[in-house]
């Protein structure tokens, strides 16, 4: 694969990264529901470029355990610092929002809460339980932190029986200390394998950002590592710098390169690969769930 020479902070975003400003009746409705029930979405907190498209499709990714992360990843727009106390009633409010919006597939993620004994695993499990009480036919996807490698925390989440369990690898091993200083590459892979060992029928998923400075062969190697750890679904998208205080974009991958990565992933044995410049962890997650989730 011939790559465009690596550069630092390309001056302009290419045309394929331009999106319309969010708006529309469904967007307004979902935003109002979130405000009324005091809930957060990663769509807003992480400044996702697809928020307009997804919310108009009546799809949203909830972010539980507050809006302040205990880690400070160099690529992430979510605020970091000392979080407030978590709200044990949040899962019930979240399930109410899912019901009001009418979601057939829901994605739930969180900030990292290294200050809590189990990293907030109980809240993830309670969210699944509360949703199933109200909407037993709605599929649930959890995008979890690494819980510092705690098997007790992971067991709590797996025992709740989500339809899809996601933990993002994010980047290649060489760049982990720079991009994700609170995480560990091998720990992320081991979490995904352990989840599958705990429940062999559980569908596992991961995602990576492209453009942080990785080489093409390193990216393919990380994808192969995920397959070796029994990951079935993969998302690949372009890293976009949230602010001047975050890591710069090393290069922009073209749509053709993302297509090549998708084909490479399918050849490796992934059941589905969502690959494109604007792809994020939950982009078109409802379509992936319809194809492969345990329903």
66-124 residue pLDDT tens: 888 999 898 887 888 888 888 999 999 999 999 988 888 889 999 999 999 999 999 99
CB-based burial label for 158 (10 Å; 0-12, 13-18, 19+): buried
pLDDT at res. 281: 78
Is the predicted pLDDT of residue 36 greater than 80, yes or no?
A: yes
**Dihedral angle sign, alpha carbons of residues 205, 83, 68, 33:** positive
Specify whether the CB–CB gap between 106 and 140 falls below 8 A. Answer: yes
DSSP 8-state class, residue 279: -
Cβ proximity of 273 and 291 under 8 Å: no
For the chain, which residues make up each domain, given as ranges?
A: 20-292
Residues 6+ apart with CB under 8 A from 244: none
* Consecutive H or E run containing 93: helix 90-101
pLDDT for the residue 3: 44
Q: Tell me which of 50-54, 60-64, 229-233, 285-289 is least confident.
A: 50-54
Flag whether pLDDT at 6 surpasses 60.
Answer: no
Buried b (16+ CB within 10 A) or exposed e, 53-72: bbbeebbbbbbbbbbbbbbe
pLDDT reported for residue 52: 54
Q: What is the pTM of this model?
A: 0.88
In CATH, which superfamily holds the domain spanning 20-292? Aldolase class I (3.20.20.70)
Task: Give tens-digit pLDDT for 225-234.
Answer: 999 999 999 9
What lies within 8 Å, CB to CB, of 249 at 6+ separation is 9, 10, 211, 212, 239, 240, 241
pLDDT at 4: 41
CA distances from 274 to 187, 189, 241 (A): 24, 19, 21
Q: Where are the beta strands (DSSP E) in the chain?
A: 40-41, 61-64, 105-110, 139-143, 164-166, 203-210, 233-238, 272-275
Per DSSP, the residues of 186-221 read HHHHHHHHHHHHH-TT-EEEEEEEE-SS--HHHHHH
């Amino acid at each position: 694969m011939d790559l465009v020479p690596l550069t630092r902070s390309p001056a302009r975003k290419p045309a394929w990264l331009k999106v319309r400003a969010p708006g529309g009746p469904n967007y307004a409705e979902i935003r109002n529901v979130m405000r009324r029930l005091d809930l957060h979405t990663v769509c807003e907190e992480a400044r996702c470029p697809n928020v307009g498209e997804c919310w108009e499709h009546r799809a949203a990714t909830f972010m539980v355990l507050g809006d302040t992360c205990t880690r400070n990843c160099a690529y992430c727009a979510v605020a970091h610092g000392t979080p407030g106390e978590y709200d044990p009633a949040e899962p019930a409010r979240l399930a109410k929002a899912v019901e009001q919006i009418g979601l057939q597939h829901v994605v739930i993620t969180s900030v990292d809460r290294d200050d809590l004994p189990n990293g907030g695993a109980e809240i993830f499990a309670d969210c699944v339980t509360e949703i199933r009480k109200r909407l037993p036919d709605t599929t649930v996807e959890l995008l979890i932190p690494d819980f510092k490698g705690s098997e007790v925390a992971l067991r709590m989440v797996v025992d709740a029986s989500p339809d899809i369990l996601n933990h993002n690898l994010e980047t290649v091993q060489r760049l982990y200390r720079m991009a994700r200083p609170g995480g560990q590459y091998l720990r992320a892979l081991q979490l995904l394998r352990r989840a599958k060992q705990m429940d062999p029928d559980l569908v596992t998923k991961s995602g990576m950002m492209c453009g942080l400075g990785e080489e093409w062969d390193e990216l393919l190697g990380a994808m192969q590592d995920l397959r070796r750890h029994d990951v079935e679904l993969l998302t690949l998208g372009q890293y976009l710098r949230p602010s001047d205080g975050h890591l710069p974009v090393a290069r922009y991958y073209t749509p053709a390169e993302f297509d090549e990565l998708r084909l490479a992933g399918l050849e490796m044995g992934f059941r589905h690969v969502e690959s494109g410049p604007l792809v994020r962890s939950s982009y078109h997650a409802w379509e992936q769930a319809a194809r492969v989730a345990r329903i």
